[in-house]
Amino acid sequence: MHPLPVYALLNIELARGRGSIVEDVHGTQYLDLYGGHAVISIGHSHPHYVAVVGSQLQTLGFYSNSVRIPIQERAAALVGEASGYDDYRFFMVNSGAEANENAIKLASFITGRKRVVAFRGAFHGRTALAVATTDNPRIVAPVNETPHVVFVDFVDLQAVEQELAQGDVAAVIIEGIQGVGGIQVPADDALRGLDTLCSRYGTMLILDEVQSGVGRTGRFFAHQHAGIRPPLITVAKGIGNGFPVGGLLVHPGLGVREGMLGTTFGGNHLASAAVVAVMETLMAEGLQEQAAAAGTRMMEALRDIPGVLEVRGRGLMIGIDTAQPSSAIRSALVEHHRILTGNASTPATVRLLPPLNIRPEDLDRAASALRTLCTVEHS
Ligand SMILES: Cc1ncc(COP(=O)(O)O)c(C=O)c1O
């Protein structure tokens, strides 16, 4: 049997990783500006991560949520401490899609309503409800189509209000920064307006921080730049640094009953150990601050390059629109400079999502490679 061929594969077989460098089976090293799709937050094989997860595996790898799991309680406490949301409750699952699925479900339970407002360009995952709020007809199967989801233009508050005023909207779901959609940063004012509208109409605002969370933008969550505190926040990717973890932060005032949500694997001992290691490293090494400074410097360097049309982002969540199709630039980065980057649904965009502790000299090397490629292609 072979893996199902649903992925467009790079012809690289990786054998090991350390920090922001991954190495293939032939010993060729690549600079990882993709972070395995925003997953590697504290770097590959971080010694503290290896120690904490390894030692948990040697004592107890798994038991279900039918018993108290002290390391899950520690993970929740540390997420609270690192994010500033220590009064919220944390529900752990295994992926970003699942986190969004549960957030929407909880919003519906709490409000007793069915409709959901999502934004054009959004990506919230591939499970039934999450994909229904994802703006990509290629990945929505007929069974996922539902009259309950309506799409409006990205942070068009008038369009949102028209929907909310009907009184039947359970949730509005929005990414802290649209990632797959090409690194679209919502204006802080727009997020504040959205938060106010949702409160006014009794609708739950769900902030999907799956890609933009865990310090990547220089704050623990991207929406914290706007100073809002939404009732439901979802996380995944960087919170596990490679171990599959998703999570839902739930405002303490929401009436959650026993049995409303549940999962076999979510929050198990190993997953919780991964979160503990990531949170401890993030705080001990000041990675949010590092991401903010590194991102500002990198974006300035990129904006100077002829052939770069636009640079968008915050911290180390960066979208670069190039004059030629980004696929050509990304291939040349791999082939000639051994640098991995991400794509986006907008064909001109190269996406950078490196580990938060990437070394400044590695970012300089990447900026100089991009300068060479974009300038040559542009002239
Ligand atoms: C913003 C956002 N939400 C949700 C998801 C889905 O996460 P997962 O693939 O872990 O289900 C992704 C994945 O790229 C994402 O970028």
Residue 210 beta carbon below 6 angstroms from any ligand 1 atom: yes
Residue ending a domain, among 284, 317, 350, is 284
Alpha-carbon torsion angle 189, 195, 201, 203, nearest 10 = 140
Choose among 96, 69, 90: nearest CA to 78. 90
Report whether 288 contacts 83 (CB < 8 A): no
Residue 96 beta carbon below 6 angstroms from any ligand 1 atom: yes
Q: What is the pLDDT of residue 39?
A: 98
Residue 222 beta carbon below 6 angstroms from any ligand 1 atom: no
Q: How far is the CA of 36 from the centre of ligand 1 (A)?
A: 12
Rounded Cα distance between 201 and 165, Å, is: 7
With 60 as the cut, is the pLDDT of residue 37 above it?
yes
Total domains present in the chain: 2
- Does residue 173 share a domain with residue 90? yes
What integer is the mean pLDDT of 259-272? 97
Residue ending a domain, among 253, 284, 315, is 284
- Does residue 235 share a domain with residue 95? yes
Q: Calculate the alpha carbon distances from 328 to 198, 219, 311 in Å.
A: 42, 33, 18
Q: Is 4 domain-assigned? A: no
Q: Is 111 domain-assigned? A: yes
Q: Which atom of ligand 1 is nearest to the CA of 122?
A: 1
- Percentage of the chain beyond pLDDT 90 is 97
Question: What angle do helix axes 287-303 and 360-378 make, rounded to 10 degrees?
Answer: 20
Q: Which atom of ligand 1 is nearest to the CA of 179?
A: 16
Residue 225 beta carbon below 6 angstroms from any ligand 1 atom: no
- Does residue 263 share a domain with residue 206? yes
Residue 94 beta carbon below 6 angstroms from any ligand 1 atom: no
Residue 124 beta carbon below 6 angstroms from any ligand 1 atom: yes
Q: What is the pTM of this model?
A: 0.98
Residue of minimum CA distance from atom 13 in ligand 1: 125
- Does residue 118 share a domain with residue 65? yes
Q: Is 237 domain-assigned? A: yes
Report whether 162 contacts 168 (CB < 8 A): no
The C-alpha angle with vertex 336 and arms to 356 and 323, in degrees rounded to 5, equals 75
Q: Which atom of ligand 1 is nearest to the CA of 236?
A: 10
Q: How confident is the model at residue 378 (pLDDT cuts 50, 70, 90)?
A: low
- Does residue 38 share a domain with residue 121? no
Residue holding tokens 């932060």?
Answer: 249
Q: Which atom of ligand 1 is nearest to the CA of 95?
A: 10
Rounded Cα distance between 235 and 182, Å, is: 19
Report whether 270 contacts 242 (CB < 8 A): no
- Does residue 300 share a domain with residue 231? no
Q: What are the tens digits of pLDDT across the range 314-363?
A: 999 999 999 989 999 999 999 999 999 999 999 999 999 999 999 999 99
With 70 as the cut, is the pLDDT of residue 183 above it?
yes
- Does residue 123 share a domain with residue 59? yes
Q: What are the tens digits of pLDDT across the range 73-124?
A: 999 999 999 999 999 999 999 999 999 999 999 999 999 999 999 999 999 9
- Does residue 215 share a domain with residue 135? yes
Mutate to test the pocket of ligand 1, among 41, 104, 211 (most ligand atoms within 8 A of CB): 211
Residue of minimum CA distance from atom 7 in ligand 1: 96
Secondary structure (DSSP) of 233-296 = EEE-GGGTBTB--EEEEE-TTS-PPTTSS--SSTT-HHHHHHHHHHHHHHHHTTHHHHHHHHHH
Residue 101 beta carbon below 6 angstroms from any ligand 1 atom: no
Structure tokens at 258: 């026993």
Q: What are the tens digits of pLDDT across the range 43-72?
A: 999 999 999 999 999 999 999 999 999 999
Residue 355 beta carbon below 6 angstroms from any ligand 1 atom: no
CATH code: domain of residue 316: 3.90.1150.10
- Does residue 40 share a domain with residue 71? no
Looking at every residue in the chain, the average pLDDT score rounds to: 96
Q: What is the pLDDT of residue 379?
A: 56
Q: What is the pLDDT of residue 375?
A: 85
7: exposed, middle or buried (Cβ count in 10 Å: 0-12, 13-18, 19+): exposed
- Does residue 239 share a domain with residue 94? yes
* Residue numbers of the domain that contains 366: 14-46+286-378
Q: Is 9 domain-assigned? A: no
Q: Is 6 domain-assigned? A: no
